[in-house]
Each structure stands twice: as structure tokens, then as C-alpha cells.
Amino acid sequence: MTILLQASDLANRRGECNRNPKDCTADGLQRPIKQFYALHMGTLPSGTISVMFIAQRSEKDDDGYARAAAAMGDLSACQPGYIGIDSVRGHDGLGITISYWASEADAKAWRDHPEHIAIREAGRDRWYTSYSLHVAMITRSYDWQKT
């Protein structure tokens, strides 16, 4: 599995994003999971909204999917209330992406964003054979790391 973290995620977590969209240009930087969690240990406040997207990829248009996923990662990072994202995908094409939002209204605004709607429709048409989406409120958040 691959864990991706974009530079815009880090900028947003430090409060440097969502104020000016031109500041939200992600460089596609990939970091191992240890670095992601080390930077964010225990920082999700109670009340954070998590949107869990579990999807089975088709074998169609890998390049188009990669471009769309990168574009949506960049765009979501610049939306009001965006906190961050965790994403994994197995060799079998099953992926889990969890995005974190400051409020239910922010998560719904992302769901209803016109560019996101267009990419979602393309995903249903080409890139996914199935998916499930779940929305939940975080009541407690903590991490553990072996030293």
C-alpha cells in the first residue's frame, strides 16, 4: 500500500491554507506513513468530520485516474474547513481515503463543489467498480508509535 501526503496538507494543518488559494499548490510530495502520523499525532479535535471513501478501482485509464486524484487532492486542500487526508490503496485496487473537515457544512460544500461533482461522475463511469462512503464525527483521537 502507498500512503500519500501532499505538501498542501501540511500547510493547511499549520493554518497556512484556506486563506488564499494561490498558497495551496501541492508539489505531490510523497512521505512514508511514519512521517505523516508523527507530524499529526493526536491533533484531530473532537467534532472533526471524517469522510471515509472505500473504493474498488477498475483497470481502466490509470493515467486519467492519477491526474484526477492529484487535481482533487490539490483542490480539496484549498477548501474552507479542510484539515487533511489519509489514503491507502492495495495492489488489488481497493483503496481507503479519509478526509477530515472542520464541520459538516465544510464536508458538504466539498461534496457539492462543481469540479468534485464532475470528477465523481467520471469515477463512476471509468475508474471505480464500486464504492462506499461514510461520514462520521470524531469523538476521540490519539496515536501510538513504538520508539
Query: Which triple of cell numbers denotes residue 74?
Result: 490539490
With beta carbons less than 8 A apart as the criterion, state whether 100 and 13 touch. no
pLDDT at 131 over 90: yes
Q: Is 144 helix (H, G, I), strand (E, B) or coil?
A: coil
CATH of the domain at 131: 3.30.70.100
Question: Is position 112 within any domain?
Answer: yes
Residues 28-55: pLDDT tens digits?
Answer: 333 333 334 434 445 788 999 999 999 9
Query: Which triple of cell numbers denotes residue 44?
Result: 484531530
Structural domain including 41 reads: 7-137
Number of structural domains found in the chain: 1
Whole-number Å distance between alpha carbons of 14 and 5: 14
Task: Compute the average pLDDT of residues 12-22.
Answer: 41
* End-to-end Cα spacing for the chain: 23
- Fill in the DSSP letter of residue 47: T
Hey, which of 2-6, 44-48, 105-109 has the most confident mean pLDDT? 105-109
pLDDT at 15 over 80: no
pTM for this one? 0.72
pLDDT at 77 over 70: yes
Question: 83 or 8: which carries more pLDDT confidence?
Answer: 83
Question: Is position 147 within any domain?
Answer: no
